[in-house]
Structure 1
Amino acid sequence: MVFEGSSAAISHTGRVRSNNQDSGYSGANLFAVADGMGGHAGGDVASSIAIHRLEGLDQGFPSTQDAQASLQAAATTAAGDLIRAAKDRPELAGLGTTLSAIIMVDDYAVIGHIGDSRIYLLRDDELTQITADHTFVQRLVDSGRITLEEARYHPRRSVLMRVLSDMDADPELDMFVMPTQPGDRWLLCSDGLSGVVDDAHIEKVLRMGFAPGRSADVLLKQALDGGAPDNVTIVIVDVGGHHPLMSGTPTIVGSASNPQGVLIPAARAPRSNWLHPVRQAANEPSHFEPAAEYLEELIEEDRRRARRRRVGWFAGLLLVIAMLVGVAFAGYAWTQTRYFVGVDDGVVVIYQGIQQDIGPISLSSVWATTSIEVDDLPGFDRSRVEATITARSLDDAQQIVQRLRDSAKEGR
């Protein structure tokens, strides 16, 4: 059961955008997030239309099948509204919105999703992303061409492959049903949250056990502290089991909360923003849906990026190998400035190098062989030379040999 007061919705413009193109809804049985796209006005209109088309679904359904059919129908109707809006006002062409929604039916969650807003489930203190992003970079992740971490910073991460828009009268939503359990905590959010706050930090906040409103506030603060380059919308709902229809006033946030939000704004003459580059950038869309021919260009661009990465990795590997070879050569060159006195085939010799070996590689070689027989040396000198005598230099090694020669003569 979703008890009264056990859900919350919040939306914020963020630190960069000049307006809020997100919309969110938290009601009795319906919970949804929409992230608009299409410029300064188009995104507002698109997300508002989507949320207001879904409002009528906040009711009791006799079955999950009925709820699914109604959710798909509402999304299709919203797509038709977007098409008409773009037709009536050509300057709104290209408007669209993501949509992630949950309808609670008894002890089941009916889920509909399109775009890159997300639905998470915290169950038994473990966070799971329930929806899959309909983005170009997610396809690259799914095909193993990039990692999830690379996807977070990919230059094309804003390219949406599926979205509610004025280009498709029959949108393809991911639709599925999941059973709920007492203690479940659901999070719906726009990418203004998930693109800034990673899953580990989201999970940590949701596990703190705060009320939904407090948890939403903490997540929003983390997004703002992270720079919040996009609008941030969060809907949290706690589930306690069987879910009957609840009464109460729904919470609507973002552009859909504005009574004028679904009205198509009048055309405005374009104004130069050359004095305000930051504001101009803030009004640029955070998402866009590519034309079909553009996808091939994106795929080829990613292939070029992959080739550049491989060349970069290979060049880096060669550089590391070259550095290791350089260090090894420098180390070997240093060993050849060292000398010591030892024994070879029963006679005293001067070695160039050091006494240590690296596996099968010897770091020393005979530099000069003397005529001094080891057996002619007194016991103490024989032991020393058999254990090798380190010399400070070649001159020092030759002096050691001379002392050993004198000692051998005295021992005869």
Structure 2
Amino acid sequence: MVFQGSSAAISHTGKVRSNNQDSGYAGSNLFVVADGMGGHAGGDVASSLAIARLALLDQPFSSTAEAELALRDSIADTATELIETVGRRPELAGMGTTVSALVMVDDYAVIAHIGDSRIYLYREGTLTQITTDHTFVQRLVDSGRITPEEARYHPRRSVLMRVLGDMDPDPEVDTFIMPTQPGDRWLLCSDGLSGVLDDAHTAKALSQGLAPGRTADLLLKHALDGGAPDNVTIVIVDVGGQHPVFLGTPTIVGSASNPIGVEVPAARPGRSSWLHPNRQAANEPTHFEPDAEFLEELIEEDRRRARRRRIGWIVGFVLVLAAIAASLAVAYNWTQTRYYIGADDDTVVVYRGVQQSIGPIPLSTPHEDTGIALADLPDFERATVERTISARSLSDAELIVDRLRDMAGAEN
């Protein structure tokens, strides 16, 4: 059965890169995002080849199992084609692409995924990331060594553990089947969007109920406002819903929309900005498959970063404790410059400090027992002493004591 719903696809070079290595496809039953890698020409070719091969699957399938098998075979065929292309064009060696594809079969979504492009599902006000990034930092997150928030800014966040490239004729691809329902909104995107826009802002854009095309435009605007250091490709698929059913020709965006042969343009000089300091790095290849030795070095480097982070926390904690201790010492020393007049069991006493205490610790000590009996004082002065009388200094306290002594003598 032909999918009943609406869709849109959009792709943009971004604010830093000199060409668009992403490709996107929105058809009748098939929806794909492919993020190319491997230089200014290789990434274009890889993502374009992936879209061209997968586009053959844009047809109704009789079962989800048939669609899942077709996705696996088509992605494997793409890997073979990449290898053969590099054999004919050695200058393209090292090219590859991510692939995140979705085929609608009746009330199910059949998904295939490799790399760090993503598929999200927005359902009943909740945004869920459906695919798992095949990246080095995702392994660190999965093992509990860093948090998802730390992964967003990790210096190795773009190192891919799995990719559709020209080295592996049998790539490991995640495939699975999910039930879908009217009102679902699916988002397929390259990391040019997910690496800039967090889930909260993505969900807010998807929640506004705009048509897929306007929603894609809004998400792209957010990515550009955030600096867009990489190509941005967005495919939105609405299941049912209020917007017109998609019936036209497929929408192909990015490098796959202009398959005019392989050109190798010169890279523009990198430019950095104080507003977006990561732009310089964005002109460098951001995706590659590391070999085992490199991965070991990355793991060791991350361990060193974790140790430095722990040491930093410990040093910071010690410094905070030292600052608190110093503040308490300064405060305590100040209290010891204060005096007040009070009473013990039966006499007037000059105390050094203040009348307060910290828990069980008093902030005053007896300085001098004056020998003036409380019983010798008039009732009002006796009550005043028992409530304590503050003094600005020791000499002020001595003046108050002399006045009390005179009163005690007059009373007698």
Give the equivalent residue in structure 2 for 1:187: 187
Aligned ranges 1:106-185 → 2 under 5 Å: 106-185=106-185
Matched-pair contact (CA < 8 Å) for 1:15–1:224: yes
Alignment of 1:277 with 2:270, yes or no, is: yes
> Which stretch shifts more, 342-351 or 317-326?
342-351
Q: Deviations over 1:138-167 (max 9, x none)?
A: 111111111111111111111111110112
What pairs up with 1:200-211 in 2 under 5 angstroms? 200-211=200-211
Identity, in percent, stands at 68
What aligned pairs does 1:82-97 form with structure 2 within 5 A after superposition?
Answer: 82-97=82-97
Q: CA deviation at 1:240?
A: 2.1
1:190-234 alpha-carbon deviations (Å, 9 max, x no partner): 011111111111111111111111110111111111110000000
Q: Show the counterpart of 1:41.
A: 41
Preserved CA contact (<8 Å) 2:40 2:267: no
Could you say which residue in structure 2 is the equivalent of 1:99?
99
1:278 to partner: Cα distance: 2.5
Q: How much does 1:286 deviate?
A: 2.3
Q: Aligned partners of 1:66 and 1:60: how far apart in 2?
A: 10
| Structure 2 unmatched ranges of 5 or more | 273-279
2:204 is matched by which residue type in structure 1?
K
Distance 1:62 1:3 in 2: 16
Residue 276 of structure 2 corresponds to which residue in structure 1? none
Which sections of structure 1, spanning at least 5 residues, go unmatched?
Answer: none
1:77 Cα deviation from its structure 2 partner: 0.8
Contact 1:35 1:117 in 2 (8 A): yes
Quick check: 26-35 or 336-345, which moved more? 336-345
How many angstroms does 1:136 deviate by?
0.9
Partners of 1:85 and 1:264 within 8 A in 2: no
Moved over 3 A (4+): 1-4, 245-248, 263-266, 279-283
Q: Equivalents in 2 of 1:232, 1:218: separation in Å?
A: 12
1:105 to partner: Cα distance: 1.1
Counterpart CA distance in 2 for 1:277 and 1:171 is: 33
Distance in 2, Cα, partners of 1:182 & 1:238: 8
The TM-score with structure 2 as length reference comes to: 0.93
**What do residues 343-384 of structure 1 show as CA deviations (whole Å, max 9, x unaligned)?**
123211110000011110110001111121111111111111
1:51 corresponds to which letter in structure 2?
I
Q: Which string of whole-angstrom CA distances, capped at 9 and with x for unpartnered residues, describes residues 118-155 of structure 1?
A: 10111112111111111111111111111111111111
User: RMSD of aligned C-alpha atoms?
Assistant: 1.9
Shift of residue 236 of structure 1? 0.6
Cα drift, residue 272 of structure 1:
9.3
Structure 2: distance between partners of 1:87 and 1:398: 101
Residue matched to 1:80: 80
Aligned to 1:290: 290
Aligned with 2:131: secondary structure? coil
Listed one character per residue, the Cα deviations across residues 233-260 of structure 1 (whole Å, up to 9, x for unaligned) are 000111129xxx9853111100011122
Q: Which amino acid aligns with 1:119?
A: I
* 1:301-352 Cα distance to aligned partner (Å, 9 max, x none): 1111110110000011011101110111111011001000111232111100
For residues 12-411 of structure 1, the aligned pairs below 5 Å read 12-240=12-240, 248-260=248-260, 263-265=261-263, 276-278=269-271, 283-411=283-411
Q: Deviations over 1:82-103 (max 9, x none)?
A: 1222233333221111100001
The one-letter amino acid paired with 1:287 is: H
Are 2:28 and 2:59, in contact at CA under 8 Å, matched by a contact in 1? yes
Distance 1:29 1:17, change over 3 A: same
Aligned residues: 401
Deviations 1:7-61 (A, max 9, x none): 1100000000000000000001100000011111111111111111101100111
Residue 168 of structure 1: SS of its match in structure 2?
coil
